[in-house]
Amino acid sequence: MSDIGVIAAVLVAYSLLSRRLERFLVSGPMFFVAAGILLGPDVADVIDFRLTSETGLLIAEIALVIVLFSDAGRIDLRALRENSSLPARLLGIGMPLTIALGLAVGALLLTEIEFWEAGIIAAVLAPTDAALGQAVVSDKRVPERIRQALNVESGLNDGLSIPFLFLFTGFAISAAEVSAQGWLAFAGEQIGFGVLTGLAVGIAGGWLVDRAVRHDFMTGTFQQLVMIGFAILAWALAEAVGGNGFIAAFVAGLSAGRITEVCSEKILDFTEDEGQLLNLTVFFIFGVSAVGFLQGAGWEVYLFGLLALTVVRMLPVAIALLGTGLRWTSVAFMGWFGPRGLASIILALVVIEEEPELPAIPTVMAAMTVTVLASVFAHGISARPLSRRYAAKLADAEADEAEMQPVMDNPIRGDLMNPVDEEAPGGK
């Protein structure tokens, strides 16, 4: 059977059993990763579709672009004005601290690689995964303010990791080639051109769709499919002009979703099917390659992966949220739900694409694989039970407490891969 046929068979199997599996806390990413491992060349040898191939990288990048675009389409900027401090703290304080702590821990544990190569791993593992955090940000038992903060963080930190990644890569290759001025210029181009391109595509695209719908030029199917075009166009144009394509995709979704209700509605519709299918496909291909990435990995890599999901994430979040008035349970909850997945996979592939001869590549891929595998299963299993327990802890919270401060209703994310099933354990 062809590779595409194997992926289709896995999709059919999960679809037929999806409700039953979800009752046992088996999410879509968990199932597809496990299927990839079992069917891959190191176990059953049914499929050998490598993640590091050009096609694998392209699929992964497109999947992330669509996730970012669709997540942004759900965000209401008016709602975020009331909640801006939490995302700003997580991105402006928590993320740099996460990278710095990851660099320090990596340099101490991963002694077979150079200092700046540890920085590459820290940057790869810094962004959180919007898809793996789906069950939490869509669970209405969790306060809206907390869910919005986690959703915005996962949408923006992917692109913000890129300047750090290239900075550390430059130092790892030749420190003499990287200056503070050069790096700041690069970071400014990545963010600035990314934002400008995203705004241009999102505003123009939203206006065009609005006019086309008003004049009955578009069919319902293509009102939805055009969202793919906007997401990929923003990504491709930003990359062409020297900007960050992932930031552009997020900003394009943000602006298109606010320009017209038609775009916002179609972005929501699109994410519930085509976008999720691409995500699951990437997780399957990742599973196929996972065992190979782990060959030769020592205990230090496994320990680093464990720390990346706990101390390296949770301590910076705790520091970033000092003074917000949140309960310690809320801080711990937000610290734990920083899953690593799609973005980390893609950033690791970017390292291979840009610097294939980098000596630390086997360690980079092994550390990424350990962390993402652990995250897929640990966060997938714990999402609903911990959300339920967290909600119970807040049952006695007063309306004026930090967690319960009112925010505008903001449709965040549907829950195709991890729905809160009313019949499932922990459902409402």
Token pair of 208, please? 């065009």
Please count the other Cβ atoms lying within 10 Å of the Cβ belonging to residue 386.
20
Task: Please give the torsion angle defined by the CA atoms of residues 249, 161, 64 and 336, in that order, rounded to the nearest 10 degrees.
Answer: -120
284, 33 contact by CB (below 8 A): yes
Distance of alpha carbon 119 from alpha carbon 125, whole angstroms: 10
Sign, Cα dihedral of 32, 34, 38, 43 = positive
Distance of alpha carbon 159 from alpha carbon 249, whole angstroms: 10
pLDDT of residue 418: 43
pLDDT of residue 266: 63
> Residue 114 carries which side chain, given as an amino acid letter?
E
Q: CA 203, 208, 210 angle in degrees (round to 5)?
A: 95
Find all residues with CB under 8 Å of 55, minimum gap 6, and list them: 49
Q: Which residues of the chain have pLDDT under 50?
A: 411-428
pLDDT of residue 428: 35
pLDDT of residue 238: 94
Q: Which of 339, 330, 343, 283 is nearest to 310 (CA)?
A: 339
pLDDT per position as a tens digit, 279-325: 899 999 999 999 999 998 999 999 999 999 999 999 999 999 999 99
Please count the other Cβ atoms lying within 10 Å of the Cβ belonging to residue 23.
14
Sign, Cα dihedral of 197, 200, 203, 209 = negative
Give SS3 for 37. helix
Rounded to an integer, what is the distance from CA 420 to the centroid of its chain?
Answer: 20
Domains of the chain: 3-404 (1.20.1530.20)
Q: Which of 90, 114, 128 is nearest to 173 (CA)?
A: 114
pLDDT of residue 97: 97
Q: Which of 193, 192, 181, 183 is nearest to 163 (CA)?
A: 183
Distance of alpha carbon 296 from alpha carbon 275, whole angstroms: 34
pLDDT of residue 420: 44
374, 151 contact by CB (below 8 A): no
pLDDT of residue 401: 87
pLDDT of residue 190: 81
What is the reported pTM?
0.83
pLDDT of residue 257: 72
Token pair of 221, please? 């199917």
Token pair of 415, please? 């829950």
